[in-house]
Amino acid sequence: MQEGQVMDLYYKEVVGIIDEIRSTEREHIVQAARLVADQVKQDRLVYVFGPGGHSNLAAMEVFFRAGGLMHISAILNQETMLSSGALKSMQVERLPGYGKIVIEDYGIGKGDLLIVVNAYGINSATIDAALTAREHGAKVIGVSSHEHANNCPLDHPARHPSKKNLHEIVDVSVDCKVKLGDATIQLPGFEQKIGALSTYANAYVMNSIMVEAINMLVNEGIDPPVWRSGNCPGGDEWNNQFLDRFRDRVRCL
């Protein structure tokens, strides 16, 4: 394949998955946004956990983000971060019981809202986080690929002992449409597919939930606190007026 052509194929895949989400998941995104908006109306935090590797990016995407809600509390668990060791991260996200520890450490329970984001939707930390939050009375939004979860063998080593899929155990599920294995482009004469899509898909879903939630609040006459970039004029001054409300409540702030 000629140089400069593969990036065009990748572009089509990126745009394609975003368009598929937009055209098929609108209802679920709006349902998720309603839950987020209701939490903000009550001045309650919205917790976001992306258990494992690149799934953490989804939590970071909507946390402390220009144009994003200040009520977002990202659960940035260091043991599941690639920066703490990629292979260790993979083992931790497969460790039964670890997600339970994380959720209980944050004290998530009755009246809370947790968004669990993991494109594959099968690993132990993901399933344990969702199950534990619901057992303690929280509502849970799941962002994952139904196709990937449904087509991953039940005996795969990454799976939770229950063999459950994230989309089966949450209050609202948004399907991020990632194909089995994530990578999408097949080069002639090269066995392994290249070009992963999950980061784009998860980021679009998460930001769509947030902007819809903010719009709902504005339509109801509520001005939710939203971050302004500290790298633009007036950003620090804008953000500083809200910091006392969140500094002691949002762990990673």
Q: Please report how many Cα atoms fall inside a 13 Å half-sphere around the Cα of residue 47, on the Cβ side.
A: 27
pLDDT at position 219 is 98
Predicted TM-score (pTM) above 0.85: yes
pLDDT tens-digit series, residues 13-42: 999 999 999 999 999 999 999 999 999 999
Mean pLDDT of the chain: 96
Q: Using CB atoms within 10 A of its CB, is residue 133 exposed (0-12), middle (13-18) or buried (19+)?
A: buried
Is residue 47 left, alpha or beta, with left meaning phi > 0 and alpha meaning psi from -120 to 50? beta
| Long-range Cβ contact pairs of 6-11 (< 8 A, separation 24 or more) | 6/185, 6/187, 6/194, 6/195, 9/185, 9/195, 10/184, 10/185, 10/195
In a domain, 1, yes or no: no
Provide φ and ψ at 234, rounded to 5°.
80, 0
Locate 231 and state its tokens: 């790298």
Residues in the chain: 253
pLDDT (0 to 100) of residue 242: 95
Task: Identify whether 251 is part of a domain.
Answer: no
Instruction: Kindly state the percentage of the chain with pLDDT values over 90.
Output: 94
Per-residue model confidence (pLDDT) at position 47: 98
Helix 98-105 to helix 124-135 angle, to the nearest 10 degrees?
40
Q: Give first-to-last CA distance, the chain, whole Å.
A: 46
Q: What is the pLDDT of residues 176-187, one digit of tens each?
A: 999 999 999 999
Give the structural domain span for 95: 6-245
Asked if residues 51 and 123 have their Cβ atoms less than 8 Å apart, the reply is yes
What is the C-alpha to C-alpha distance for residues 231 and 187, in angstroms, rounded to an integer? 41
Q: Three-state DSSP class for 207?
A: helix
Distance of CA 227 to the CA centre of its chain: 19
Domain-located, residue 192: yes
Q: Which phi and psi angles does 206 have, rounded to 5°?
A: -65, -45
Q: Evaluate whether residue 214 is within a structural domain.
A: yes
**Tens of pLDDT, residues 173-231:** 999 999 999 999 999 999 999 999 999 999 999 999 999 999 999 999 999 999 999 99
Q: What's the confidence (pLDDT) of residue 78?
A: 87
**C-alpha distances out from residue 237 to 67, 105, 131, 227, 247, Å:** 15, 33, 40, 11, 15
Q: How many domains does the chain have?
A: 1
Query: For 39-92, how does the pLDDT look when each residue is reduced to its tens digit (9 = 90+)?
Result: 999 999 999 999 988 999 999 999 999 999 999 999 998 888 888 899 999 999
Pairing of strands 46-49, 72-75: parallel
For the chain, percent of residues with pLDDT exceeding 70: 100
> Is position 54 within any domain?
yes
Region 154-171 average pLDDT: 96
Domain of 101, CATH number, reads: 3.40.50.10490
Residue 146 is assigned to a structural domain of this protein: yes
The SS3 call for residue 141 is strand
Q: Quick check: is 252 in a domain?
A: no
- Is residue 117 included in any domain, yes or no? yes
